[in-house]
Amino acid sequence: MTRHIKRLIGAALGLAALGLLAWALWPSPVTVSIATVNVGPFTETVSEEGRTRLRDTWHVSAPIAGYLQRVMLEVGDTVAEGDTLFRLEPSPAPALDARSRQQAEDNLQAAQARWRATQANLETTRADRRFAEAEYQRHRQLHERNLISNAELEHRQNLRDRQRALENSAASNVEVARFEVEAARAMLDVVSGQRSQPDDTPELAIRAPISGVVLTRHRCCEGSVAAGEPILELGRPTDIEVQVDLLSMDAVRLRPGMTVRFSGWGGDALEGRIRRIEPAGFTRISALGVDEQRVPVIVDFAESVDPEALGLGKGFRIDADFLVWEGNEVMQIPTSALFRHQGAWTVFVVEEGRAARRTVEIGRRQGMVTQVLSGLAESEVVINHPGEQVSHGARVKVEE
């Protein structure tokens, strides 16, 4: 009897040891994070940073080479169409060296001498003209008394007319000589490139082509300018639009007229509409050094939005969310719950404390949320970020 009891006790201890070993080796539940399948509003957007700009700008430049007077307008000043923006005057003459100055003085003296000679010649021709006039009058009286022939009278008339022409020519030579004297004297007036007196200097006033504000002032101080050199940039603050450079793979999903929501500019969200998608893209190098094909998308603010009243100007940063698609009753799950299994999208569903693998059909994606078309029901629980320890049928425990 004693031996039989001992055998029973040994068997019980062995079974207990085997039970403890089996319990120790039994896999513990995998701790997982879960999410609930819900149905609600879903929007698919394309988000990118943009910059405000003016639809049209006017670059006002110097039409001719000259000397620019100081530009009194500053950035932000309002101008009306026709207002004077700046003035141009002729460029100062270059300074004369000693040799050129001596030549200019000699030219002035020679011009003055020619002027005096033409004046003397004018006096001589005037005296000859007066004598010819008197001779003609005497011969005309003799002709009236039939004392001389017609040929003699015509000869005297011809002499008178020739003297008149010579007098006019001499007077013209005097004017030419006077102009030469003034030109030679003007050369001597400029010794070191000094500007002319303001009262004597002709000015060209450049006027505003539009009513707007000054956006950029390229030149402020007086000085020589070349033809075509930019001076000011003008624009209308009411013509503000937004340019967003999107990836080409996102731009092809958009169409003119789509709704855009603006944020990140310093105030409440604003609304706009796509006006134009540029037909040509460009290459931009990202922060990671990757070549990206970007396409400019131009967006107009809604009619109820007044950018000027809100303080928006040219070159302001703004975040744009392009509304590609939206729905009200859309089944959705976190994108982190999805993984690929045998070429299909799959999730793990928690059923009675165990993970069950299930194939699903997905639709649109928006950031961390994905639309589910089939394979799940509302309020079911899926596992987020399933790791290698999670398998079909494995026991799971929800982390706190």
312 shares its domain with 293: yes
Residue pLDDT, tens place only, 147-161 = 888 888 888 888 888
114 shares its domain with 164: yes
Look at residue 94 in the predicted model and tell me its pLDDT: 65
244 shares its domain with 318: yes
208 shares its domain with 74: yes
> Average model confidence (pLDDT) for the chain?
86
Last residue of a domain, one of 277, 298, 327: 327
Tally of structural domains, the chain? 4
Q: Is residue 313 part of a domain?
A: yes
Look at residue 17 in the predicted model and tell me its pLDDT: 63
86 shares its domain with 203: yes
In terms of residue numbers, what domain contains 253? 45-54+240-327
248 shares its domain with 382: no
| For residue 183, pLDDT beyond 60 | yes
User: Half-sphere exposure of 294 toward its Cβ, with a 13 Å CA cutoff?
Assistant: 18
178 shares its domain with 298: no
High-pLDDT (> 90) share of the chain, %? 44
Last residue of a domain, one of 266, 300, 327: 327
Q: At 59, is the pLDDT very low, low, confident or very high (cuts 50, 70, 90)?
A: very high
Residue pLDDT, tens place only, 315-341 = 999 999 999 998 999 999 999 999 999
225 shares its domain with 77: yes
221 shares its domain with 231: yes
Least confident of 114-118, 141-145, 313-317, 325-329: 141-145
